[in-house]
Structure 1
Amino acid sequence: MIGSVGSVLGEENINVSFMSVGRIAPRKHAVMAIGVDEEPSKVTLRKIGEIPAIEEFVFLKL
């Protein structure tokens, strides 16, 4: 998942400022939090949300 999400962001030239990941067990449910330097476009967010293994996706603008 890290590679899939990173590839989408890289294709759009969006820099990742931080990333935190965790999981309950190998190949089980996991969580990923990513900080980016610029707000992704709606198209980029849609591409991330369409990654097959992603069950839930939320974008927060702080």
Structure 2
Amino acid sequence: MTCPICEKDADEKYRPFCSKRCADIDLGKWLTGSYAVPSQREDDGEDLLRELDESTQKPH
């Protein structure tokens, strides 16, 4: 198995990654939204837009 980030051989300790660095890079991509799991719902985009619109109208 190769590391999905740099394609070096995976290390058993960090599997499927080769190092902590590559594992951290992958985690960072998830946390910043670079990776996303697509939704099966058709109206998710509309719900998100409605929530954003409502949150900008509420006073803090």
Query: If the length of structure 1 is used for normalisation, what is the TM-score?
Result: 0.23
Bigger RCO (CA 8 Å, 6+ sep): 1
Whose helix fraction is larger, Structure 1's or Structure 2's?
Answer: 2
Query: If the length of structure 2 is used for normalisation, what is the TM-score?
Result: 0.23
Whose strand fraction is larger, Structure 1's or Structure 2's?
Answer: 1
